[in-house]
Amino acid sequence: MSLSRRHCFFGVFWLILALFILVAKIIPSGRVSYEVDYHHLSRPLGGKGFIGHLTPAERVSQEAKEPALVGGDPVYFSVFTPRTFSEAKVTITYRDELTPNTPVIEAGVLVDNLVWRYLTKPLENKTLDSLKDWSLVSDGERSLYQKNPNFSSVADFIETATKNPEEICPDGNLNSCLALYNPPALDFLQKRIPGPTLDFVPWTVPLRGTHQFYFTAPTNQELFFSFILADLNLDKRDDPVHLIVYEGSQIICQSKIEDNDGGEGEGEVQTKTATLTCPPLLNQETLKLEVKGSSDLVIKEISAAPGALNFVGRVYPVEAEVLPLEFWTDRNLISLTTVNPASRQEITFGDQEFSLAEPYERYEFANQDPGLKKVTLTKVDVILETGGVLAPQAETFFNPDFDVLSRYFSLNEETTYILAAYQPPLFRTDGLKEATVTFNTQAAYRENGKYSFMISIPGLAPADSGQLVIEKIKVEFTGRSLLEKLSDFF
C-alpha cells in the first residue's frame, strides 16, 4: 500500500506540530524570558499569556493599554512556566508616585503556601538611597554604608566585625551601631547577643495564627515547651501546627503536630496539648520559638518555656479575661488592624492616644519619643504589629535584633553602619525606574504550573494618596538545559 501525497503532508504536519508542542514544553535551552508591557497589552484571543493579572483587583486599577496603578499592599501576579526553573530574575519598570510614608518597595516569591510566606527582596529602599553624605563601599552583592569612611572594603568590615566587634561599636555589641537591610548570610549576624535569663511567666491570653517569640535559654538544661492549642475548624483544609526553635536562621529543633481530628470546615473547636523538647545549649543564647499554623490555629496557653517570652513582630490576641492588655516596644511606629467591629477602641501608645475607628482598615500610629513605650489595648481581637520586639512586661523587654531598615525604621544618632544586600534601581532618563531582583525558584512553591510573585509596598493603603505605576514586568527564568539533564544519564 502506498501513502498518498496528501497523507504524507498530513503526517508531517502533525509531527511538526507535536514537536513544536514538545519543544515549547521542555524548553531545551533551559532559558526563557516572559514579559508584559502594560502599554501594549492586547489579548484579542482571550488568552492569559504567561504573566497573569495583578491581583487583588481592588488594589490595582488597570485600563486597556495603560500602565497598572497599584494603590494597596501587597499585589500578586502569577507566572505560568511550562516546566520548572532554578532561578527567576524579575525586572519591574515603574514610575514612582509614592509618598514619603512608603519608602520601601520589595518583590517576593511564594515559598511556603501553609502560612502564605513570600521570600522578599528589595526593589528600592529610599531610606538607603537618601544617605547621600554617607560613604558607600560595595562588592557588587553586598553594600556597606558608613557615616565615617573607616573601612575601604566590605570584606575588611566583615573581618573586623567577626574578630574585633568593639572596633566597630564601642560597647562591643554590634547591634548598637550596625543596622541591616536584606542582610547577607554571614556567620557573625547569626549570633544574637544573649539577653538576661528571666523566669518564664505562663501566657494565658489566646493568640490566633502564627506567632514568634524570643527567649533566652539557660545553659546545660533541656529546653521544654508546653502548649494548649485549639483548631477552630473554620477552614476546610487540615491544620497541622509546626513548633520550631531557631538559632539565628538555623533550626535547632522542631516538631509537627498533625491534624487527624477531622471536622474541618464545621466550626467545632478542638483543643489539644502539645510539647516540644530541645537538647541543652552549651552557651547562654537568645533563641526564637515559632508556633506556625493556619488562621484556624489558636494558641490558648503557653504553660512552659525555658525563659520569659517576648513577641517578635506581631501579636494577635483574641480573648482576654483581664483587660487592658499591655505590650512594651522600642519602635516609633505601630500598626493595628481588626476585622471585628466590636473591637474598635482607643489605643494608648506611649503618652499619646490614638483611635482604631473602623474595622478592616489598617491604622498606623507614630510616637517619636525615644526609649521603651507602652501600648495599651482595651479590647482584644486586634492585630498589633511593630516590626520589632513586643514584650508583655517592661522588665522582660530585650531586643537581640539588629535594626532593620524597614518602613518602621528611623535613623538615630547611634547608627553609624548599615550593611545591605541591595542595589539601587536604575534611574532612567525618561523618569522611569528599573529594578531587578533574582530569586532561587528551587525552593519556591509551584501550583498548576505557576509560580506566585508579589510586589509589596509596605504601608501603602487607599488612605495614603501614593501609588506605584507599573509599566512593565519581565521575568527571566534559568534552569538546566536538555543537554545537562541528559548528561545525568551517561
Partner 1 sequence: MVFFELIWPNSVLAFFNLNYAVLAWLILGLILLF
Interface contacts to partner 1, rule CB under 8 A: 6, 9-10, 13, 18, 20-22, 24-26, 43, 45-50, 80, 82, 449
Element (H, E) at 225: strand 223-231
Closer Cβ to partner 1, 5 or 236, answer by number:
5
Is residue 277 within 8 Å of 178, Cβ to Cβ? no
User: CA 430 to CA 263: how far, in whole Å?
Assistant: 58
Compute the least distance from the CB of residue 48 to partner 1, in Å.
7
Query: Quick one: which of 293, 292, 296 has its CA closest to 235?
Result: 296
Listed in sequence order, the residues at least 6 apart from 161 whose beta carbon sits closer than 8 Å to its beta carbon are 168, 174, 178, 188
What are all long-range contacts of 429-435, with beta carbons under 8 Å and residues at least 24 apart?
A: 431/95, 432/93, 432/94, 432/95, 432/471, 433/93, 433/94, 433/95, 433/96, 433/124, 434/91, 434/92, 434/93, 435/91, 435/92, 435/94, 435/105, 435/107, 435/123, 435/124
Closer Cβ to partner 1, 84 or 197, answer by number:
84
Closer Cβ to partner 1, 260 or 448, answer by number:
448
Phi, psi angles (nearest 5°) of residue 362: -100, 120
Compute the least distance from the CB of residue 30 to partner 1, in Å.
15
Type of residue at 277: T
Query: Quick one: which of 273, 97, 310 has its CA closest to 197?
Result: 310
CA-based radius of gyration for the chain? 26
Compute the least distance from the CB of residue 81 to partner 1, in Å.
8
CA atoms within 13 A on the CB side of 30: 11
Closer Cβ to partner 1, 25 or 163, answer by number:
25
Closer Cβ to partner 1, 6 or 163, answer by number:
6
Closer Cβ to partner 1, 47 or 100, answer by number:
47
Max Cα–Cα distance, the chain, nearest Å: 97
Compute the least distance from the CB of residue 135 to partner 1, in Å.
47
Closer Cβ to partner 1, 26 or 366, answer by number:
26
Using the CB atoms, write b or e for 32-68: b if 16+ within 10 Å.
bebebebeebeeeeeeeebbbbbeeeebbeeeeeebb
Query: Quick one: which of 438, 440, 452 has its CA closest to 113?
Result: 452
Closer Cβ to partner 1, 36 or 241, answer by number:
36
